[in-house]
Chains A and B, each alone.
Chain A
Amino acid sequence: MILLLLIALLMLGGLIAWVSERAGSNWPRWVTLGTTFVGLCAIGVDTVPHLIGHVELPSNPWLREYSVPWIPRFGIGLHLAMDGLGFLLIGLTLVLGMVAVIASWTDITTGIGFFHFNLLWVLAGIVGVFVAMDLFLFFVFWELMLVPMYLLISLWGHERRSYAATKFFLFTQAGGLLMLISILALSVVHYRQTGIATFDYSALLGTSLPPETEFWLMLGFFAAFAVKLPVVPLHPWLPDAHTEAPTGGSIILAGVLLKTGAYGLLRFAIPLFPNASETFAIVAMTLGVVGILYGALLAFAQTDFKRLVAYSSVAHLGFVLLGVYAGNLHARQGAIMAMVAHGLSTGALFMIAGLLQERLHTRDLRRMGGLWPVVPKLSGVTLVFSMASLGIPGLANFIGEFLVLLGTYRVNIPLAILATIGVVGAALYSLILIQRAFHGENTEGWKVPDLGAAQFATLGAMILLSLTLGLYPQPLLNASRPAIARIQTWGSQTDTQDTPAALEHEASDLATPAPSGR
């Protein structure tokens, strides 16, 4: 019930925010902030006590579940459920939602009410995606988050906004369409086999498919998620969309919207089509590594602050894809960690890009330079986040990337080595960002104000969060463990049991493949 309430709260908050613009231009901002904060507190208070102290894998993976029929004729239900993975991503969504509001505080000056309405509806759509356990409902939310995002880019974006918004829409719609076909086909196949028309996730889990069909259906899902993630040949919408979107939009886009792709892979593409996914794994892993290297190379060459960060996202999400398809526990946990960490670090970097653009009216790194003495606080904070981005141990990104590499190494050594070379690439583009923007001579004679108190507090809180997760990631790992353990593993999971240290720790029960369905 709380899940439905949460989505309803976000949607209602959006309407109120829209209307409340009449009362004053700050009203929508406070309403949005309040809505996300209340949502975060509610879901946190409701769920966190259940996460603490869960050592064994619970028989029922869902922390919260809600199910009522919606269109019974086709077996479509309003089935919402949340496990640890969903909880983490919802938490990230709401946190970054608040960050986005604060980052847009001075950025958005026109259509304030409608902007915040769109922001909250995007968040509602994303939360819906993370909890929908009915494929039809999932598709509805998948589309729901797209439209407000399109509006955010096309109405409040920068110079080439309408081009970027169209591109974003085209790519994601094309992927979504393929997924819709796969969803319908899957349901039809299930109906032919059992005589039951259903779109329910848990019911469809056990569907046995001929290998050929399974592969094509898997590819349909993969296409949609690969566009969102993005996987390299399908990424060109991302740099444009991220660069042209308003600051708040970029934060949401990079911070959480991309994660729906990885979530979809973990929740749907792999459990629904385990055999085809295993066959496909090597291709996906290669694409991940290509993404890591290609993203790093392109990020290094950019001169636009936001574009550089956008391409770095391509590289970071290459790690996520690699981790998801490496197929063992370490890599998958690493992928989840990398998702959360990337949300924090890239969200913060986009916020910083927005703050700089607001002050300098340019994103061109060639025109910046020598900003350190001008804005010391902003520079210091940027330094920390670019270090996070290049994977300095002690911050959350490192844990994710290291676990992914560790897991990948066990499956495929050459790919692991190539991915590690991407770490050097990360150092290249992160340092060039710092150097071009903040070091050197202040040739343009910039004189701009430093961070405001609220902005500093927000970024400081994100640093603290990243540091905490980097030094004590256990709560996050524990929360996502039951969800991860249920996903089919493949590759050399027996290796874990062979190693002496692994026997000492009760690892073996986790490494065995979980039964499909429940």
Chain B
Amino acid sequence: MLDWFWTIPAVPLVGFLILTLGPSLPRAMVSGIALGTSALAAGLAASLAVTLLHQGFHPVGHTQALWTWMDLAGFTPRIALYVDALSMTMVMIITGVGVLVQLYATEYMSDDSDYQRFFAYMSLFVGAMLVLVLADNFLLLFLGWEGVGLCSYLLIGFWYRDLLNGLAARKAFIVNRIGDTAMIVGLCLLFTELGTLEIQAVLRQAALQWTIGHPMAIAATALLLGAAVGKSAQIPLQVWLPDAMAGPTPVSALIHSATMVTAGVYLIARTHTLFALAPATQTAIVVIGTTTMLFAASSALVQRDIKRIFAYSTISQLGYMFMALGVGAAGTAIFHLFTHACFKALLFLVAGALMFSLHHEKDLLNMGGLRRDLPFVFWAAVIGAASLSGLPFITAGFFSKDQILLQAWRSPSGGLWLLTAGLLGSMLTALYSFRVVFLAFFGDKHSEVTRSPGWRMTVPMGVLAALSLGVGWLGWSARAEEPSWFLRLMDTAMPVHQPYLVTDAQAGTIALLASGAALLGTGLAYLMYMQRPAVLESVGETEAVQTIRRFLLRGWGFNWVYRWTIQKPFGYLARTAKVDILDQGYERLIMRPFLWIADINRDDALDRVYGGLTRLVEQSAVTAGRLQTGQVRWYSTVLVAGALGLAGFAVLS
């Protein structure tokens, strides 16, 4: 299996090629091809994982070089794949969630006229994302990085007839591109300084060449962070993700929550030894992550569009992962990435199921009382929300978030303030999660259920619900000083430098605090939305609360700021320059005088001269033509006369 794991990304790409190049196929065949290739990739990934687990995950991963991309005076990136515990985890998430979401989509998208195009893009996405996480060097990683960005663009704008979808798609791509610019410069810097772009070699070389706090290390990590911030929708580049919900819901589940947006987390985790050399950047990550987490959680509180709530929730959870990365706990970040992929995909599928059943209704306030009509969706929503809030012991989210809080507190770069922020975020998370549950499934009914999801939608939700409850135990260890199974696995790929300085008592405290925050949030939600909704309404009337509400609803006004600082000036610049200023200059200086002179010439002087010349030639031609009578005797007479004349001239002179 280790010799041909290149097939894992290749299989979905083949599926993409078949779906794109092939003729228009019946729906069953389209879903067969898409699902078949994804399932095959998942199967291959599983067998690779089994092989690797069997071998006990060597600290150094396995590389498989396919061919040398280019070889140019020391610049020798290869098309090569690298697998270790980290990339293996990502591969499992991508292929696993990928299969489930595609199965879900076969029913969800069954009415759509562009069925084949949808699955083609989905297959391309899965392939590109696998290339991203399996890449052995930064350039190939960048290929996957841009590839998933492209798929994200295509899928957000999938329903292209609506102009707003197109604008959202373009926004996503452009904002990501701004981050990618940082990455390109970062790659140039890494190659210029370290002489290679192979990820493992870069990490080794950097450790040899740079001391902790070396300016180059800080510059390089800051640039990589720029790319990660764009892709993972962190402040200040988070503006694209809420708008990205314009895409079909399965897309939001797979791309904009479970996989693509976590690429930034993956990138930092992959290069975490590089980041360890740059404490300044790490502090920046912590600050960005924490701010984003609180910002997005607060914004999620007041949204009405169910998908926007989950979008802000995703941004917030990614903020948690960044927090973990910033304090140097990359393994914990990946663990949260893993559990988040399960429960957030589940929640998006739930949102999709609600929209499916309620005829595209997205407004939370128009739902309500759906508990009886859609019991399966209700329970899935409860499990998802519980896991997202981190309700203690029974949910996966609890274990991962608990770990992050512990690391944030104990790590040298963290502290009590970070723990407090984390706990606050945790409470807010529980509050907005259960707000959704209570408003959608309890209370009075506002919309009628038109149809219920079939098995192709319920099975993926069921599987993800089970995972959202179960996978947490992978990250559980009975004793605090011993790392859990998952962390030990991650350690093979990302060796941790500082030992665990955690006692059982400390771990217990954090577990209690985290449970408390989650339960507090849930309780608040119950009070506000179930017990005393009237109180909330009366408080909501006041002007101050309305202002805060509007501020939060608009995501802290980032869009507004960007519109006035970037979009408008650029638009103005472009409009001004539309008629090329330089062109205008030449127009006045050269072209117009030239054409003017040419004009005068044509009408006046030259034309007369040429005209006169022409007339002269014409006249002489007519005159000379008269000699040509066509009479042979006239010709011969002239000939003789000429000959006599010549002879006479010769004799006389």
Q: Mark A364-381, 1 if CB is under 8 A from B, else 0.
A: 000000101000000010
Closest to A481 in B: B72
Determine how close the nearest CB of chain A comes to the CB of B566; give it in whole angstroms.
Answer: 11
A499 vs B197: C-alpha distance in the bound complex, in angstroms?
Answer: 12
Contacts of B72 in A (CB 8 A): 329-330, 333, 403, 477
Q: Of B74, B153, B174, B188, which contacts A409 at CB under 8 A?
A: B188
Chain A stretch 434-460: residues in CB contact (< 8 A) with chain B: 435, 438-441
Closest to A232 in B: B582
Given A431-B173, A495-B192, verify A471-B582 contact (CB < 8 Å): no
Contacts of A300 in B (CB 8 A): 574
Contacts of B180 in A (CB 8 A): 423
A435 vs B167: C-alpha distance in the bound complex, in angstroms?
Answer: 9
A471 vs B421: C-alpha distance in the bound complex, in angstroms?
Answer: 46
B71 A477 Cβ-Cβ under 8 A: yes
Contacts of B590 in A (CB 8 A): 170
Q: B530 at the A/B interface (Cβ < 8 Å)? A: no
For the complex, count residues of B whose C-beta is within 8 A of A. Answer: 59
Contacts of A499 in B (CB 8 A): 74, 192-195
Determine how close the nearest CB of chain A comes to the CB of B189; give it in whole angstroms.
Answer: 7
B73 A507 Cβ-Cβ under 8 A: yes
Q: B583 at the A/B interface (Cβ < 8 Å)? A: yes
Interface of A is mostly: helix
Closest to B142 in A: A393
Closest to A421 in B: B181
Determine how close the nearest CB of chain B comes to the CB of A385; give it in whole angstroms.
Answer: 13
A423 vs B195: C-alpha distance in the bound complex, in angstroms?
Answer: 24
B74 A505 Cβ-Cβ under 8 A: yes
Contacts of A329 in B (CB 8 A): 72-73
Closest to B201 in A: A501
Chain A stretch 204-243: residues in CB contact (< 8 A) with chain B: 232-233, 235-236, 239
A440 B191 Cβ-Cβ under 8 A: no
B582 A392 Cβ-Cβ under 8 A: no
Q: Of A235, A416, A417, A502, which contacts B582 at CB under 8 A?
A: A235
Q: A167 at the A/B interface (Cβ < 8 Å)? A: yes
Contacts of B586 in A (CB 8 A): 236
Q: Mark B312-347, 1 if CB is under 8 A from A, else 0.
A: 000000000000000000000000000000000000
Chain B stretch 147-200: residues in CB contact (< 8 A) with chain A: 147, 150, 153, 157, 160-161, 163, 166, 170, 173-174, 177-178, 180-181, 184-185, 187-189, 191-196
A409 B76 Cβ-Cβ under 8 A: no
Q: B3 at the A/B interface (Cβ < 8 Å)? A: no
Q: A38 at the A/B interface (Cβ < 8 Å)? A: no
B47-55, B62-70, B395-403, B466-474: which lies at the interface: B62-70
A406 B75 Cβ-Cβ under 8 A: yes
Given A428-B174, A439-B166, A474-B68, verify A370-B161 contact (CB < 8 Å): yes
Interface size class of A (residues with CB under 8 A): 35 or more
Contacts of A431 in B (CB 8 A): 153, 170, 173-174
Contacts of B595 in A (CB 8 A): 163, 166
Determine how close the nearest CB of chain B comes to the CB of A439; give it in whole angstroms.
Answer: 4
Q: A64 at the A/B interface (Cβ < 8 Å)? A: no
A393 B71 Cβ-Cβ under 8 A: no
Q: A302 at the A/B interface (Cβ < 8 Å)? A: yes
Q: A137 at the A/B interface (Cβ < 8 Å)? A: no
Q: A496 at the A/B interface (Cβ < 8 Å)? A: yes
A167 B188 Cβ-Cβ under 8 A: no
Determine how close the nearest CB of chain B comes to the CB of A484; give it in whole angstroms.
Answer: 10
Q: Of A166, A233, A427, A511, which contacts B174 at CB under 8 A?
A: A427
Q: A197 at the A/B interface (Cβ < 8 Å)? A: no
Given A402-B184, A440-B161, verify A424-B68 contact (CB < 8 Å): no
Q: A410 at the A/B interface (Cβ < 8 Å)? A: yes
A424 B69 Cβ-Cβ under 8 A: no
Contacts of A504 in B (CB 8 A): 74
A302 B578 Cβ-Cβ under 8 A: yes
Q: B79 at the A/B interface (Cβ < 8 Å)? A: yes
A420 vs B183: C-alpha distance in the bound complex, in angstroms?
Answer: 10
Contacts of A133 in B (CB 8 A): none
Given A423-B184, A501-B196, A505-B73, verify A402-B177 contact (CB < 8 Å): no
A298 B195 Cβ-Cβ under 8 A: no
Contacts of A78 in B (CB 8 A): none
A507 B74 Cβ-Cβ under 8 A: yes
Given A424-B177, A427-B177, verify A501-B74 contact (CB < 8 Å): yes
Closest to B202 in A: A501
Q: Mark B65-99, 1 if CB is under 8 A from A, else 0.
A: 00111111111100100000000000000000000
Q: B360 at the A/B interface (Cβ < 8 Å)? A: no
Given A233-B582, A399-B70, verify A505-B161 contact (CB < 8 Å): no
Q: B207 at the A/B interface (Cβ < 8 Å)? A: no
Closest to B21 in A: A460
Q: Of A370, A471, A501, which contacts B195 at CB under 8 A?
A: A501
Contacts of B69 in A (CB 8 A): 471-474
Q: A405 at the A/B interface (Cβ < 8 Å)? A: yes
Q: B46 at the A/B interface (Cβ < 8 Å)? A: no
Chain A stretch 463-518: residues in CB contact (< 8 A) with chain B: 471-474, 477, 495-496, 499-502, 504-505, 507, 510-511
Q: A387 at the A/B interface (Cβ < 8 Å)? A: yes
A421 vs B570: C-alpha distance in the bound complex, in angstroms?
Answer: 13
18 CB-based A-B contacts, threshold 8 Å: A163-B591, A163-B595, A236-B580, A298-B574, A298-B578, A298-B580, A330-B72, A392-B146, A393-B139, A394-B146, A403-B75, A409-B189, A409-B192, A424-B174, A427-B174, A427-B177, A501-B76, A511-B73
B-binding residues in A (CB < 8 A): 163, 166-167, 170, 232-233, 235-236, 239, 294, 297-298, 300-302, 329-330, 333, 370, 372, 380, 387, 392-394, 399, 402-403, 405-406, 409-410, 416-417, 420-421, 423-424, 427-428, 431-432, 435, 438-441, 471-474, 477, 495-496, 499-502, 504-505, 507, 510-511
> What 10 additional pairs, Cβ within 8 angstroms, besides A301-B577, A405-B188?
A166-B598, A232-B582, A370-B161, A403-B75, A435-B170, A439-B166, A440-B161, A477-B72, A501-B74, A501-B201
